[in-house]
Structure 1
Amino acid sequence: MDDAHRGSGPRAGTAGDAGDRGTLRAAFGGLTTRGRSFLAAGVAAAGCAYVLGQADLLLVGLLLAVLPLVCVGALHRTRYRVAGTRRLSPSRVPAGSEARVHLRVDNTSRLPSGLLMLQDRVPYVLGPRPRFVLDRMEPGGRREVSYRVRSDLRGRYPLGPLQLRLADPFGMCELTRSFSAHDTLVVVPRTQALPPLRLTGAASGYGDGRQRSLAQAGEDDVLPRGYRHGDDLRRVHWRSTARHGELMVRREEQPQRARASVLLDTRRSAFRGAGPDAAFEWAVAAAASALAHLVERGFAVRLLTDEGGAAPGDGGDGFTGSAHGSAEAAGPMLDALAVVEHSDASGLSGAHDVLRGGHEGLLLAFFGDLDEEQVATAAAMRRRSGAAVAFVLDGEAWAPGAGSTPSVPFGERLRLLREEGWTAVPVPPGADLAQVWQRAGQPGDTQPAGGGAATGFSGGWS
């Protein structure tokens, strides 16, 4: 949904003597080069006329000096009201995509405006500062302009305040007025479409894969209800009908939503390097793609980091509450990933504390470098979840020589995770996420040691 803000610039005059004096000083400070030149020439001509005794030159000097002063006074005393509106389309964009900013200026006063120069403040990372020149606006008139912004770096970027530079018809004086409203452009990580996979032992989405009490119930355990107009007669439960003396039908099966947790390791010690191509940025973009993929398939999803929950869910327990796979359901989590930074945590205890509540369905994790203690914590998290898949990044391969050698070699980390029941997938430098995602569904070295059939991928997520 587009965001719109409206603000009115202050009038040239303010109530009270102190305010008038301050505004008048600002008006004199707004003299342009032309205005200052006219004023200086007028003073010089008047001085020469006094010395030489030339009355005609004195009149010319007075005219040159008075003209910029009259323009300052007129601009200072002019009663004007200008309203400005900014609209972002859209207000949330993936990194590398463009958003358009629409500006509208309305003259809400009864007097026509002069020449207006419009300028919007934007961070340098979004591009150059946009400037526009607006013609004279009639009373009640409107002018609309637009510009584009783009960023290759995720984050939250403020837009505004909008500034108007007012000028008199002769170009002698200019005054700058700022609106108070701001907007925020959210640049989320770029997501990638992922191929469908199915995790045996985990539900594939809304109303699928979970054991339902009604589906397993026997003939004597069916919970009937009274017949309603439009019910299918094939659902009539005759034994309950005979018992109650009225038509009874089997209750409709109430589907349960599958749950999934996406864990992003943000520890500073787990990743090396910086920049858009660093391992940490790959993990952030991969987590965003996984969240969007799961939400589109009807999962109730939550985002975790090594410090705990990273985004509040609308379900009250950290999970998204939308049951229709709406892309908007992933919005708060993508917003959290837009500004996520490295943490100073030394372990994964925060995420483990969140997962301690019990079986929470599918667990997808994006890990950096791990030591023995962190592998043990990951093993405990695995026991608290259903199926678990870990995408493991090797910091030494992503940024050779950028840090100390990990205490646990990369191959040993994968082996330990698989022994604890994880489906561990190695992520080489610059890997394509879709290919890595497909590797998680292939048997072989990504399967955990022991019980691979219980936690491996098969079939397709749908």
Structure 2
Amino acid sequence: MTTATAPDDQRGADEGRGGVRAALGGLTTRGRSFLAAGVAAAVCAYVLGQADLLRVGLLLASLPLICVLVLHRTRYQVAASRRLTPQRVEAGAEARVQLRVENVSKLPTGLLMLQDHVPYMLGPRPRFVLDRVEAGGKREVSYRVRSDLRGRFPLGPLQLRLSDPFGMCELTRSFSAYDTLTVVPRTEALPPVKLFGEASGYGDGQQRSLALAGDDDVIPRTYRHGDDLRRVHWRSTARYGELMVRREEFPQRARCTVLLDTRRIGFEGAGPDSAFEWAVSGAASVLLHMLERGFAVRLLTDTGSAVPGEGSDGFAGSVQDSADTAGLIMDTLAVVEHSEGAGLSRASDALRGGADELLVAFLGDLDEEQTALAARMRGRAGAAVAFVLDSGTWLTAGSVTGSVDERVRDLREAGWTALAVPPGARLTDLWQQAAGLRPGSVAAETHGGRS
């Protein structure tokens, strides 16, 4: 969990702009009334020749002006910071925002009003009133935000309204710092089932050796921090003049590609309960699940783009990078939107599978051409599972139509473990069902339960 904080010595973006003229614009109704009364008394004193009335007029006019000057001078000596915990949450979960105001001047402040800019999707705009902050004093307030929609939402900038003790003048100061809340898709914890043809993840896959039996045939590499010193190859170290270690036998990491169909024509409707959001949430759940099982994973969309895009063919590089890979994938899924593409051809071209690769696809509405294209993808993976959504039934909360069952049947005949997804289905149930469904089977299935 990371925390972002605005610098305590940050000054308002409007510092030095407008000067006293801007400060005079902050006069309240009371301040303007005192100023008008003072000017009127001074004019009357001049016309009538009354010196005492002139003194009263000067007193009335000077009071709001003095308040403006004092407030204008001290308004830049208030520091503020914001802490967002956590910065990445699932849709529907809450995050806590803590605001801290510090009076770094030698004079106490008057009435302060804090207002943080928050997108309407996260709730109402928070406002707080602080009565008085003594010199060197600090105040902390907090509020919570939540969103049922995925996305990246800016929090800030923070606005601070200052007021003098007499209520003559109010000035607004805006800080330039802001934080970003990332709302990722909801995920489900999937059971560790065994899919037909699936490799066993990290450590149980095929073994690959780069070190041969003869000592002279060893392929060395440069020493890296953390390498076992017992693997130092002294002959190569003497030859190259730097510390070299032997490359030893290591297990080949099984791979999993999750294909997410984002075509706009493939999904109807919008909102947290739409078919597209279910597909995004399902892709996130499968990716996290396979990472936990030790697979090298990648997210592939119909546009042909792959995430994380590192290592061979866009897969994650190592087990140590799993946390970073999960964060990158979830950040990508937080902002994924519909594509304008009409087919899956780019995704098909990006597939470079093998016998040790698992392909899990979340597909929207398919016509005959796209069904045939998806069927041909089956030959590029050791195991393939497809979840086919009929977005029309999700809009009406009806039963799966015959056309979807036909597409599922075609995919099964091509070797896919394919299932139709009814509205409100739980991925956990479908995942277990996929484990018990033999590839190529065209037998009738029982759809997953509703949440």
Same fold judged by TM-score > 0.5?
yes
Alpha-carbon distance, 1:65 to partner: 2.1
Letter of the aligned partner of 1:223 in structure 2?
A
Letter of the aligned partner of 1:202 in structure 2?
E
Letter of the aligned partner of 1:64 in structure 2?
L
Q: Are the counterparts in 1 of residues 195 and 434 from structure 2 also a CA contact under 8 Å?
A: no
Q: Which residue of 2 aligns with 1:223?
A: 213
Q: Which residue of 2 aligns with 1:321?
A: 317
Letter of the aligned partner of 1:212 in structure 2?
Q
Q: Which residue of 2 aligns with 1:211?
A: 206
Alpha-carbon distance, 1:421 to partner: 1.2
CA 1:213–1:321 in structure 2 vs 1: closer, same or farther (change >3 Å)? Answer: closer
Alpha-carbon distance, 1:270 to partner: 0.8
Gaps of at least 5 residues in structure 1 are 215-220, 232-250, 453-462
Is 1:128 the equivalent of 2:124?
A: yes
Alpha-carbon distance, 1:44 to partner: 4.2
Q: Deviations over 1:316-346 (max 9, x none)?
A: 6422234158544311111111111111100
Letter of the aligned partner of 1:344 in structure 2?
E
Alpha-carbon distance, 1:58 to partner: 4.2
CA 1:111–1:64 in structure 2 vs 1: closer, same or farther (change >3 Å)? Answer: closer
Alpha-carbon distance, 1:352 to partner: 1.1
Gaps of at least 5 residues in structure 2 are 217-227, 231-246, 444-451
Q: Which residue of 1 aligns with 2:440?
A: 448
Q: TM-score, normalised by structure 2?
A: 0.82
CA 1:314–1:409 in structure 2 vs 1: closer, same or farther (change >3 Å)? Answer: same
CA distance in 2, matches of 1:153, 1:400: 21
Alpha-carbon distance, 1:62 to partner: 2.9
Q: How does 1:324-403 map to 2 (within 5 A)?
A: 326-356=322-352, 361-400=357-396
**How much identity, in percent, do the aligned residues show?**
67
Pick aligned residue for 2:421 from 417, 427, 435 = 427
Q: Which residue of 2 aligns with 1:411?
A: 405
Q: Which residue of 2 aligns with 1:287?
A: 283
CA distance in 1, matches of 2:208, 2:13: 69
Q: Which residue of 1 aligns with 2:223?
A: none
Alpha-carbon distance, 1:46 to partner: 4.3
CA distance in 1, matches of 2:268, 2:13: 54
CA distance in 2, matches of 1:66, 1:360: 83
Q: Which residue of 1 aligns with 2:262?
A: 266
CA distance in 2, matches of 1:137, 1:396: 58
SS at match of 1:85: strand
Q: How does 1:4-19 map to 2 (within 5 A)?
A: 4-7=4-7, 8-10=10-12, 14=16, 19=17
CA 1:281–1:13 in structure 2 vs 1: closer, same or farther (change >3 Å)? Answer: closer
Alpha-carbon distance, 1:143 to partner: 2.8
Q: Are the counterparts in 2 of residues 11 and 79 from structure 1 also a CA contact under 8 Å?
A: no
Q: Which residue of 2 aligns with 1:456?
A: none
Q: Which residue of 2 aligns with 1:457?
A: none
CA 1:316–1:81 in structure 2 vs 1: closer, same or farther (change >3 Å)? Answer: farther
Q: How does 1:157-168 map to 2 (within 5 A)?
A: 157-168=153-164
CA distance in 2, matches of 1:336, 1:11: 32
Q: TM-score, normalised by structure 1?
A: 0.80
Q: Are the counterparts in 2 of residues 12 and 23 from structure 1 also a CA contact under 8 Å?
A: no
Letter of the aligned partner of 2:6 in structure 1?
R
Is 1:67 the equivalent of 2:63?
A: yes
Q: How does 1:164-243 map to 2 (within 5 A)?
A: 164-208=160-204, 210-213=205-208, 223=213
Q: Are the counterparts in 1 of residues 262 and 302 from structure 2 also a CA contact under 8 Å?
A: yes
Q: Are the counterparts in 2 of residues 320 and 330 from structure 1 also a CA contact under 8 Å?
A: no
CA 1:44–1:287 in structure 2 vs 1: closer, same or farther (change >3 Å)? Answer: same
Alpha-carbon distance, 1:399 to partner: 2.6
Alpha-carbon distance, 1:292 to partner: 1.2
Q: Which residue of 2 aligns with 1:217?
A: none
Alpha-carbon distance, 1:136 to partner: 4.2
Q: Are the counterparts in 2 of residues 120 and 130 from structure 1 also a CA contact under 8 Å?
A: yes
Pick aligned residue for 1:436 from 426, 430, 434 = 430
Q: Which residue of 1 aligns with 2:34?
A: 38
SS at match of 2:250: coil
CA 1:81–1:74 in structure 2 vs 1: closer, same or farther (change >3 Å)? Answer: closer
Letter of the aligned partner of 1:343 in structure 2?
S
Letter of the aligned partner of 2:206 in structure 1?
Q
